[in-house]
Every structure is written in C-alpha cells, then in structure tokens.
Structure 1
Amino acid sequence: MAIPVRPRLLAALAPTFLGCLLVQVAPAAGTPQKAFNLTWNSINFKTILEWKPKPMDYAYNVEISSGSKWKIKCFLITDTECDLTDETVQDVHLTYQARVLSVPRNNTYLEEPPFANAPDFLPYRDTKLGKPVIQHFKQVGKELNVTVEDSPTAVRRNGTFLTLRDVFGKDLSYTLHYQKESSSRAKPANTNTNNFTIPLEQAKGYCFTVQAVIRSRKDNQQSSQSNMECSDEWDSIMGETLIIVGAVVFVVIIFFILLSVYLCKCKKGRAGQQRKENSPLRSA
C-alpha cells in the first residue's frame, strides 16, 4: 500500500534536495579533469607532446625532466599540446619524462593537482625520420645515378642546425625503390652514403623513390617515401646513342690516324727508294 505524501511536506523538502544537488554538481563542473592519451609527436627531433581533453574552466601546466627535477615548459595553457623541442634536443641520447597537470585557471590548488605521465621519450630512438629529398638524378643509358639530400633536424650546435647524417652518422642509410615506368614492381637498392649508382636492365625510363633508414632501431626504422621522380626515356635512349656514336667516332678517328701514319711511312719509303735508284745515274 502506497504511503501518501503531503504536498506541504514536499514543498518544505524541495529546497533542501535542490541545495544538495547544486552542492554536488557545482564542484564537479569546476574540477580540473585529468589528462589522458598523452602522445609524443616527434619528426627529425622537432618534438611536441599532445593529449586530451580540451579543458573547460581550467588549464594545463606541462613539466619535463631528464632526471630528478621537473621544469615547467607550458604554463596555464588551454591548448592540448606543448612544444618540448628546446629541452629534448639538448641531449638526444637522454631519456625524458613529461607530465601534464590539470589546474584551475588562477593556478590556486590546495592539494596536489591531478596529473598524467607521458611515456618515456628517448629522442635518438623515438623521433620519426622525415621524408627525404632527391637532390639530383641522371640516367645515362643503362646506368642510373641518384643523390639524396640529408634532411635538416631541430638539433642545433654552435648556431647551426644539424642534418640527419650529422646526428646519426653511420647508423643512417638510404633505400632506393626503382621500377620501369611501365611496371608496378619496384626493386630495392641500399647505400650507407648519399649516392646510388644502379645498373639497369634496359635503357628505358625509370621511376624511383627514396627512404631514410635506421636499421639499429626496433621501431620507426624507416621514413616515409620521398616524392617520386622519373627519368626521361628519350634522354636515356639519347644517352646510350651518344655513347655508341662517341665510341664509333673514336674508333674512326683512331683508324684515320693509323692510316695516315701508314701512308706517310709508305710515301717516305718510296721516296727513299727512288733516291737510291737515281744515285748511280748521276755519278756516271
């Protein structure tokens, strides 16, 4: 059997229930939320820490450390990213820790604010390799020559930005993927320098891309492929033709030189013989 509730009693209790509800909701609306999905986004040592969510009525502080002391890098920001490049390029062989603290916008917090830790970050191991650039290429007949330009990095020494080769040294290599223009199957070629010399099957046009590679890594070994470049089939045919023509011209020149020497010797020999034959007649 339902217990009857008097209207006057409900009216008296309503303000109390409403007040309790507001007390519970108001702090939740103004309480900073802990960050999540902390991710390092680093390419050629340009390093940015990203996270979620977008803050509502609060802000973020970002701290970084390579040892026991924390250093604030981004203070009371409402973005969800913080550029930590200046810290991480000081020594790319150190392991860095970072954390994101959620704080009120006036930065007053009686207790330790909620924070989230990012995964450890070792720049030399974890930064991704940027897309390389093909600096120069030339195909002559059945030989393709390609030169790759080392990408610049965010690492600076004595006021100069270092290249990937400056930072990684012998750990850096390149892979060239090349194929005939009419084919979809690419062949790989590797080099520990910046130059490729590829013997080709035919003097036809070829297309190719390049990737930077750090083989000592377990993850993030390869960069994305460079923009595709293609050699001109007509240039390659003309190149081979010029080589053949040049060889023929060289042989012809040598032939005429030898022929001239031979004829000259023959002429001298005949002249000498005529002198000998005419000498007795003069003496008589």
Structure 2
Amino acid sequence: MASLKTVLYLGVCLSAWIITTADENFVPKAENIHWVSLDFKIVLVWTTIPSDHKYTVWYSSKESDWRPSQNCIRISHSECDLTGELRPLDRTYTATIKTEPAELYDDDDYDLDVSHSSYSTSFNPYRETNISVVNFNVVVVNASRVILNITDPLSGEHDTGRQLSIRDILKKNLKYKISYYKSGSTGKRDIISNSTTAEVSKLDAGQSYCFMVAAFIPSRPKSTQQGPWSIQQCTPGDDNVLQELSLAACVGAVFILLTVLVIIVTVTVLCCRRRRQRNTFQSSAPV
C-alpha cells in the first residue's frame, strides 16, 4: 500500500514537472502575418498568444541580405511600421518575425532559432500598395467642355523632409481613369488622363454630366491596377434650371389664381349683403 502511494506521488510530481517545463519552453510564434499598405505606408501585422515574449522583425529581398527593422526590435505589440525601410520600393520583400524571451542576459550569445520564426508572404510596395480615393473638382469652360483638376494623393514616404505624393514615386506610370455620363442616362464613357488636368469635350450643350475619377496604374497586375472610385460630381444643366423655373412659375400661377378667387368671393359676398340691406330697408319704409 505504501509503495502504491509512493508511485502515485511520483506520478503527480512528474506530471507537474512536465507541465511546468512545457510552459517554460513554450514559444508563442507569430501567426496570420499579412501586409497592410495604403499610399506606400507599409505595416506588417500579425496575431499571437498573449505572453511576455518580445518580437523582432527582419526583412530581405532577393537583392539584399536579412536586416532587422530599426523600429521593430524586441517589441511587445503585434505590428511593425516598415514605411521608409523597404527601399528601393520596386523590389519584392519577405519578412520574418522572430520570437525572443522576455529577458535576455546576453544578446550576443542568444541564438534566434529558426523554429521560433514565422515568415510572411512576399510583397512588392511599388506594385501592390493600395491607392486611396482621389479628390478633384470640375470647372465648366463652356456649354460643351469641362476641365477636371485632380489632386495627387500624398504617400507615406518622405525625402529630405518633404512628404512625397504618389506621382513622385510612380511618375509616368500614374494615370487617372475618368468615367462620366449624361444625367438621366445609363450609358457611361471612360477616358484615361496622363496628368492631373483632364479635358472632357464634345458634351451636349445644356445637359448635366456626372464624373468620377480613380487612380490607374496600367503597369501593375490587374488586381492592383485601379484605385477606388471618387465621390461623384455633376455639372449643372439648362434642364435643371428650366425645371426650377417651371416649378416657380407653377407655384406663382397657383398663388395668383387663389388670390383672384378670394377677391371674387369677397366682392360677391359684400355685394349680396348690400343688396339684402337695400331690400330690407325698402320693404320696411312707410307707404
């Protein structure tokens, strides 16, 4: 009986030791790693089990060796801003996130084991960053011609203290797709502009037209060639003015008719009262 208790006690102690050791040796690797990039602001995002471990992000391309991100050495959060580090932008990069213990007694002697690393998919900023919605305004030149003034979105990149626009980076590869249609019509037309100033001519005089603009980069793969469409902007047309004038005329005519009707009814009532008063006076007078 005593030997059985001893065996059970040893089993419990061994199990507790195994669990404790496994807990100590557990390394929470980064998972669900993905790139988030808009207008060349580049962020690497991942998920992990909460712990006291730290994370260091390294990156490389086919043309360069692995190097650590200067902003993401032994960080505790699960995202890394790599904007300004992945240069040149027109290269394909891969990142690795290495899990490190919470405390390092000697950084130089610590071996970042490959089994504690997680790798991202490849990413080319020049070809894959999303482009935001563009702003523009429409200037009516004459009855059949308008000019669209488009504003290049700003990028996340800086050079000598100046924030670059996406045109500074994409240069001649950046174009704008313009879609427009006559108000009330379902037929749309698309044109491509090479610059931020686009002229649309041969419009039907007196008609209202609506326009939308999107960044367009034909040198890219189809999945990232076009940015989102802008908010629609429409020009005023003569039809709208005529409709407004017609509505105002109708309202005015109704008002005048009601006024005349009120006057007629009032005059009629007054005349009837006077006539009754005269008849009553004549009938009551002595013969």
Structure-1 residue corresponding to 2:230: 226
Q: Between 105-114 and 47-56, report the one with greater CA deviation.
A: 105-114
Structure-2 residue corresponding to 1:144: 146
Tell me the alpha carbon deviations over residues 250-274 of structure 1, each in whole angstroms, 9 at most, x when there is no partner.
Answer: xxxxxxxxxxxxxxxxxxxxxxxxx
Tell me by how many angstroms 1:10 deviates.
5.4
Secondary structure of the equivalent of 2:74? strand
Tell me by how many angstroms 1:206 deviates.
2.4
- Report how many aligned residue pairs link the two structures: 230
Does the alignment pair 1:77 with 2:78?
A: no
TM-score (norm 2): 0.70
Contact 2:40 2:156 in 1 (8 A): yes
Structure-1 residue corresponding to 2:31: 36
For the residues of structure 2 that align with 1:195 and 1:236, how far apart are their CA atoms?
Answer: 27
Partner amino acid, structure 2, of 1:112: D
Q: Cα gap change, 1:201/1:62 in structure 2, threshold over 3 Å: closer, same or farther? A: same
Structure-2 residue corresponding to 1:172: 174
Tell me by how many angstroms 1:215 deviates.
0.3
Contact 2:52 2:76 in 1 (8 A): no
For the residues of structure 1 that align with 2:155 and 2:219, how far apart are their CA atoms?
Answer: 19
Q: Cα gap change, 1:235/1:202 in structure 2, threshold over 3 Å: closer, same or farther? A: same
Structure 2: runs of 5+ lacking an equivalent: 243-287
Secondary structure of the equivalent of 2:220? coil
Contact 2:144 2:204 in 1 (8 A): yes
For the residues of structure 1 that align with 2:198 and 2:235, how far apart are their CA atoms?
Answer: 14
Structure-2 residue corresponding to 1:266: none
Contact 1:180 1:207 in 2 (8 A): yes
Partner amino acid, structure 2, of 1:103: E
Alignment equivalent of 2:209, drawn from 203, 206, 209: 206
Tell me by how many angstroms 1:83 deviates.
0.2
Contact 2:30 2:117 in 1 (8 A): yes
Does the alignment pair 1:159 with 2:161?
A: yes
Does the alignment pair 1:97 with 2:97?
A: no
For the residues of structure 2 that align with 1:144 and 1:233, how far apart are their CA atoms?
Answer: 13
TM-score (norm 1): 0.71
Does the alignment pair 1:23 with 2:17?
A: yes
Contact 1:146 1:196 in 2 (8 A): yes
For the residues of structure 2 that align with 1:234 and 1:16, how far apart are their CA atoms?
Answer: 95
Tell me by how many angstroms 1:225 deviates.
1.4
For the residues of structure 2 that align with 1:207 and 1:141, how far apart are their CA atoms?
Answer: 14
Contact 2:28 2:49 in 1 (8 A): no
Give the % identical residues: 27
Structure-2 residue corresponding to 1:51: 46
Contact 1:54 1:80 in 2 (8 A): no
Contact 2:100 2:112 in 1 (8 A): no
Secondary structure of the equivalent of 1:77? coil
Q: Cα gap change, 1:186/1:130 in structure 2, threshold over 3 Å: closer, same or farther? A: same
Contact 2:97 2:118 in 1 (8 A): yes
Tell me by how many angstroms 1:115 deviates.
0.5
For the residues of structure 2 that align with 1:99 and 1:64, how far apart are their CA atoms?
Answer: 6
Partner amino acid, structure 2, of 1:148: I
Q: Cα gap change, 1:235/1:192 in structure 2, threshold over 3 Å: closer, same or farther? A: farther
Q: Cα gap change, 1:10/1:171 in structure 2, threshold over 3 Å: closer, same or farther? A: same
Structure-1 residue corresponding to 2:283: none
Q: Cα gap change, 1:14/1:231 in structure 2, threshold over 3 Å: closer, same or farther? A: farther
For the residues of structure 2 that align with 1:20 and 1:137, how far apart are their CA atoms?
Answer: 78
Structure 1: runs of 5+ lacking an equivalent: 1-5, 239-284
Secondary structure of the equivalent of 1:76? coil
For the residues of structure 2 that align with 1:54 and 1:184, how far apart are their CA atoms?
Answer: 52
For the residues of structure 1 that align with 2:10 and 2:43, how far apart are their CA atoms?
Answer: 49
Partner amino acid, structure 2, of 1:33: P
Mapping of residues 189-200 of structure 1, within 5 Å: 189-198=191-200, 199-200=202-203
Tell me by how many angstroms 1:214 deviates.
0.8
Contact 1:203 1:237 in 2 (8 A): no
